[in-house]
């Protein structure tokens, strides 16, 4: 009987751990019992993974247990996608973001959350890339300079720096780009 209790703890279910949807549970559990009684026990690594995740008191969705070779994706693909994912996650979590300037030979990295607001950020950029950014106007954007500071947000769109509240900017900014020249003028002239 104990065996079955443990199995229940470790079975893959649809709901969050600890949710007590008794009816659903019974149905799903009975299906799984049929399968499990004929199947071998799940590999022990898998059981340990699930047990440890159900013991946590979580509000977030349970971490999916890692079964060897599942999902069936070539290891080459797994390695190449995951590295990129972790890189971009990193950038969004208020950590360092890349800053490029048109014409500069290499990029820089800054942590926007280190600054208290837009003026501090812009001053830092001006020093870093040796340029000046002009004056910001709510409607017309930046005036008085060939350079326009922009950033890429979570949706992949390029936005003018300064439009949204600072906190929102820090959370949604993925990378910065200081545009210059004709491209910048198109953006900066309140079109």
Partner 1 sequence: MNYFPDEVIEHVFDFVTSHKDRNAISLVCKSWYKIERYSRQRVFIGNCYATNPERLLRRFPCLKSLTLKGKPHFADFNLVPHEWGGFVQPWIEALARSRVGLEELRLKRMVVTDESLELLSRSFVNFKSLVLVSCEGFTTDGLASIAANCRHLRDLDLQENEIEDHRGQWLSCFPDTCTTLVTLNFACLEGETNLVALERLVARSPNLKSLKLNRAVPLDALARLMACAPQIVDLGVGSYENDPDSESYLKLKAAIKKCTSLRSLSGFLEAAPHCLSAFHPICHNLTSLNLSYAAEIHGSHLIKLIQHCKKLQRLWILDSIGDKGLEVVASTCKELQELRVFPSDLLGGGNTAVTEEGLVAISAGCPKLHSILYFCQQMTNAALVTVAKNCPNFIRFRLCILEPNKPDHVTSQPLDEGFGAIVKACKSLRRLSLSGLLTDQVFLYIGMYANQLEMLSIAFAGDTDKGMLYVLNGCKKMKKLEIRDSPFGDTALLADVSKYETMRSLWMSSCEVTLSGCKRLAEKAPWLNVEIINESDNNRMEQNGHEGRQKVDKLYLYRTVVGTRMDAPPFVWIL
Binding site for partner 1 (CB under 8 A): 12, 14, 24, 27-28, 31-32, 34-35, 38-40, 43, 61, 63-64, 67-78, 80-82, 84-85, 88, 100, 102-103, 107, 152, 155-158, 177, 181-183
Given the complex with partner 1, which of 102 and 126 has the nearer CB atom?
102
135 vs 157 by CB, closer to partner 1? 157
Q: What is the distance between the alpha carbons of residues 181 and 102, in angstroms, rounded to a whole number?
A: 9
Question: What is the nearest approach in angstroms of partner 1 to the Cβ of residue 75?
Answer: 6
Angle between helices 2-10 and 44-55 (to 10 degrees): 80
Closer by beta carbon to partner 1, 141 or else 175: 175
Query: Who contacts 27 (Cβ-Cβ below 8 Å, separation ≥6)?
Result: none
Task: Please state the closest distance from residue 189 (CB atom) to partner 1, in A.
Answer: 17
Nearer to partner 1, 80 or 119 (CB): 80
> Reduced to 3 DSSP states, what percent helix, strand and coil does the chain have, rounded to the nearest 5?
45, 15, 40
Q: Least distance in Å: CB of 74 to partner 1?
A: 5
- What the block records as the tokens of 178 is 């200081």
| DSSP E strand boundaries for 71-116 | 97-101, 108-110
Beta bridge partners of 152: 158, 175
8 A C-beta contact, residue 145 and residue 133: yes
Residue 6 vs 34, nearer CB to partner 1: 34
| 12 three-state secondary structure | coil
What's the min distance (Å) between Cβ of 117 and partner 1?
25
- What CA–CA distance (Å, rounded) separates 128 from 122? 10
Smallest separation (angstroms) from partner 1 to the CB of 48:
16
């Amino acid at each position: 009987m104990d065996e079955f209790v443990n199995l229940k703890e470790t079975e893959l279910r649809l709901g969050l751990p600890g949710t007590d949807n008794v009816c659903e549970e019974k149905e799903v559990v009975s299906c799984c019992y049929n399968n499990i009684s004929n199947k071998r026990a799940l590999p022990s690594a898998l059981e340990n993974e699930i047990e440890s995740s159900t013991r946590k008191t979580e509000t977030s969705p349970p971490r999916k247990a890692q079964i060897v070779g599942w999902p069936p994706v070539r290891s080459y693909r797994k390695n190449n996608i995951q590295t990129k994912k972790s890189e971009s996650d990193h950038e969004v979590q208020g950590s360092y973001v890349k800053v490029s300037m048109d014409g500069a030979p290499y990029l820089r990295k800054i942590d926007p959350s280190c600054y208290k607001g837009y003026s501090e950020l812009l001053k830092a950029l001006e020093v870093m890339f040796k340029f000046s950014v002009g004056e910001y106007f709510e409607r017309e954007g930046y005036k008085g300079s060939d350079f326009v500071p922009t950033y890429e947000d979570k949706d992949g769109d390029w936005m003018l720096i300064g439009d949204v509240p600072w906190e929102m900017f820090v959370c949604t900014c993925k990378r910065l780009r200081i545009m210059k020249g004709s491209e910048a003028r198109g953006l900066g002239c309140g079109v």
